[in-house]
Amino acid sequence: MKIKDKKTALASFEESAVKHADATGQGDYKTANKCYANIVKAINFLKEQGEVAALIDCLCHSSAGVRNWAATYLLPVKEKEAIKVLEEIVRKKDIHSLSAETTLSEWRKGNLKL
């Protein structure tokens, strides 16, 4: 998908994050890797446009994968909201909780470069 505007970037991010979460849950690393590449492409577009904060609506998404990715990339611009969502994901104790826990830990140590 060619990203030409914020709306397209957000749609690509959401779709790729949902598919990434599904693929991760199924152990399908090839699909997960392709989806991750699309997530990064969408994020890079949003960064170039100064629109990363537009991910804020994704923090309420039904998919934990979408919430996890959105919260991760929102840490530098909406830290309080992002941390709250990541902490909620950690408490669920599912496949996404370790990722969210690691993200929070590395963010708090200052090791996460987004």
pLDDT score at 93: 86
Measuring CA to CA, which residue among 31, 34, 39, 32 is closest to residue 9?
39
pLDDT score at 24: 92
Q: What integer is the mean pLDDT of 93-99? A: 90
Q: Would residue 14 count as lying in a domain?
A: yes
Q: Would residue 114 count as lying in a domain?
A: no
User: How many domains does one find in the chain?
Assistant: 1
Q: What integer is the mean pLDDT of 67-94? A: 97
**72, 114 Cβ separation under 8 angstroms:** yes
CATH number of the structural domain spanning residue 40: 1.25.40.70
pLDDT tens for 31-75 read 999 999 999 999 999 999 999 999 999 999 999 999 999 999 999
- Mean pLDDT, rounded, of the chain: 96
Rounded to whole angstroms, the Cα distance separating 1 from 9 reads: 9
When pLDDT is cut at 50, 70 and 90, the band that residue 1 belongs to is low
Q: Which residues contact 81 (CB under 8 A, 6 or more apart)?
A: 56, 59, 71, 74
Q: Would residue 1 count as lying in a domain?
A: no
Q: Would residue 22 count as lying in a domain?
A: yes
| DSSP, res 55 | G
Q: What angle do CA 68, 74, 77 make, to 5 degrees?
A: 165
Give the domain extent around 95: 6-109
